[in-house]
Structure 1
Amino acid sequence: MTKIFITGSSTGLGALVAKDLIANGNQVYLHARNEQRAQDALNVNPQAKGVVTGDLSDLDSVKSIANQLNGIGTFDVIIQNAGVYSEDSTLTARVNVEAPYLLTNLLNKPKRIIFITSGMHIGAPLDIEHLESDLSYSGSKLAVMILTEYFARIWPKVITNAVDPGWVPTRMGGPAANDDLHGGYSSQLWLATSNDFRALKSGDCYYHLRHENYDSRANSTQIQTELVAKLNELTQPK
C-alpha cells in the first residue's frame, strides 16, 4: 500500500487522481486551502486517510503544512498538483513555484515526487530576478520544469518527474478545454504507483502517458542554480 499526499486536491485533477488512487487501495492524504475546502475535499473523497489545510500563497502556512505532514510520517509519493492561473504575478509565483519548492525541501524525502507543469512552458519568458513582479502562468510552469530537473539531479534516490496534464475541462481549464479529462491525470496515477522501468526513471515529462519533450533550459545547471538562489531568497524569513 502506497502512502501519497496531493496538494490542491479538494477539486479538479487533484481530487480525481485521489479518487482513483484510493480506489486502487492506496493511503491518500488530501490538501485544501481552508477548513471549508477541507470538508469539500472529504465530501468528494470520504475514504481519504486525512486532509491537511493551509494556504499555499502564505509561506507560514506552507511551513505549517510541512509540519502537519512530517507529523504523520514519511510519504512514498508527493504530487505537487496545486496551481493558480492568475494575472497576479506575486500570487502565481508563490503558489506555483515558491510553495512547491519550499514544501519539497521541508518534507521528509519521499520515494517519488511528481510536479505538474504545462505544455505552455516551452519558450515561455522567465525573469528569475523579478520572479514575483513579472511572472506569467507559462513562465511559472517553466520554473516548475526547472525544479523537476533540479531535484532529479540533486536527489538521485528520489524519482522525480513532471506531468503536462493538457488543457482539460476542470474549473481552471474551463468548459472550452478540449483535452481528455482522464488523460489529464493518467500520468500522475502511473508515475505514483507503477514499477514500469520508465516510471522508475527521473527527470522526464509525460503527457497522457506519453513521454513529452520539454524546454531545454530546464537542464541548465546554471539556470537551476539561479532559480534556486532566488527561491531561497524569497522563502527565507525576512
Structure 2
Amino acid sequence: MSNLPLALITGGSRGLGFETARQLGRLGYRLFIASRTSPRLEQAAHGLRSEGFLVTTHAFDMQDQISIQALVEEVKKKDVPIDVLINCAGVMYETGNGDDLQTEYGSTASVLRSAERNVTDTIAINMIGTWSVTRALAPHLGRGARIVNVSSSMASLGEMGPGYYGYRASKAGINVFTRTLAYELRPRGILVNSVCPGWVKTHMGGPGATREVADGAAGIVWAATLPPDGPTGGFFRDGQAIPW
C-alpha cells in the first residue's frame, strides 16, 4: 500500500477537475477521480496514469444517495483517510439563447426567462449535491485534511451582475457551505475554502474564456496544499481573498 497522500476530486474527468488532479499528482498525491460518466473517467485515468500517477476512478451521481454511498464504499476500501477533497463537479444549465435579455454585459441567461428545471437542477447539483457528497465523505477525511469547494465570482454579491440566477445562487450557496463547514471542522484541523478559478477555457467556460485551465487549477491546488496555519472559511482567487 502506497503511503502517498490521497486526493479525491469530483468532476475529475475533464476540465478544471482533470487539471487539478494532474497538478496534485505532480506534487505526489494518489488520485481518486469521480464523475458521472465512466468512459470519460477511464480516458482521463489513462492520461493521468501515462504520467506515472496512481489513479482510482469511480462513476457516481451527485443527486442519488445510493450512488453517493457506493462512492463512500469505494473510499473505505482504500483503508486510508482522504487528505484532500476537491468539490469540482458542477453544471451551468442556463445558457444563452435568442430570448435572452440584452444588457451592457451582452447576452445573458435571463433571470426571468430561464427554464425552471435549468435553475432547480443547477442548484440541486451544484449546491445540494456538493453538500451531500461532502457530508457522506466527512467521516473519512484525515485530521488536518483540506476541502476545496470550487465556486465562482459570479456568486460574489460584491461582483454580482445580470443573469444566470441558478448558477449564481448555487455557487453563493457553496460559499455559505464553506463558511459554516469551516467552523464545524476546525477542531479536526481541517481547512475548508472556496476558490474561484476565474473564467477558464473549459467546456463550461467556452473558447472565449480569458484564462488557461492550468492557471485556474493552480488556485485550487494552492488551497488544497495550505499549511496548517493557513486560512479557513475564506473565498479566494489566485491565493488572494475576494469579496463575498
TM range, smaller chain: 0.7 to 0.9
Paired position in structure 2 for 1:192 = 224
Pair 203,178 (structure 1): closer, same or farther in 2 beyond 3 Å: same
Cα displacement string for residues 101-125 of structure 1 (whole angstroms, at most 9, x for unaligned residues): 1111111234111101100002369
Find the aligned partners of 2:185 and 2:23 in 1 and give their Cα distance: 28
Alpha-carbon deviation of 1:95?
A: 1.7
Alpha-carbon deviation of 1:23?
A: 1.6
Aligned amino acid, residue 131 of structure 2: Y
Alpha-carbon deviation of 1:194?
A: 3.6
Identity %: 26
Alpha-carbon deviation of 1:37?
A: 2.1
Find the aligned partners of 2:172 and 2:73 in 1 and give their Cα distance: 28
Find the aligned partners of 1:115 and 1:60 in 2 and give their Cα distance: 22
Find the aligned partners of 1:10 and 1:167 in 2 and give their Cα distance: 19
Please identify which structure carries the higher strand content. 2
* Structure 1 segment 56-205 matched on structure 2, within 5 A: 56-72=62-78, 73-87=80-94, 88-107=118-137, 108-110=140-142, 111-123=145-157, 136-156=166-186, 157-195=189-227, 197=229, 200-205=230-235
Cα displacement string for residues 113-149 of structure 1 (whole angstroms, at most 9, x for unaligned residues): 1101100002369xxxxxxxx9610110000000000
Compute the RMSD of aligned alpha carbons: 2.0
Say which one has the larger Rg.
Answer: 2
Could you tell me whether the CA contact under 8 Å between 1:8 and 1:14 is conserved in 2?
yes
The reply to whether residue 213 of structure 1 matches residue 220 of structure 2 is: no
Pair 44,95 (structure 1): closer, same or farther in 2 beyond 3 Å: farther
The reply to whether residue 5 of structure 1 matches residue 8 of structure 2 is: yes
DSSP-derived class of the 1:189 partner? helix
Pair 67,89 (structure 1): closer, same or farther in 2 beyond 3 Å: farther
Find the aligned partners of 1:212 and 1:180 in 2 and give their Cα distance: 20
Could you tell me whether the CA contact under 8 Å between 2:35 and 2:89 is conserved in 1?
no
Pair 202,3 (structure 1): closer, same or farther in 2 beyond 3 Å: same
The reply to whether residue 14 of structure 1 matches residue 17 of structure 2 is: yes
Find the aligned partners of 2:33 and 2:156 in 1 and give their Cα distance: 30
DSSP-derived class of the 2:141 partner? coil
Paired position in structure 1 for 2:61 = 55
Could you tell me whether the CA contact under 8 Å between 1:57 and 1:91 is conserved in 2?
no
Pair 14,152 (structure 1): closer, same or farther in 2 beyond 3 Å: same
TM-score under structure 1 normalisation?
Answer: 0.79
Could you tell me whether the CA contact under 8 Å between 1:17 and 1:189 is conserved in 2?
yes
DSSP-derived class of the 1:4 partner? strand
How many residue pairs align between the two structures?
204
Alpha-carbon deviation of 1:181?
A: 2.9
DSSP-derived class of the 2:63 partner? coil
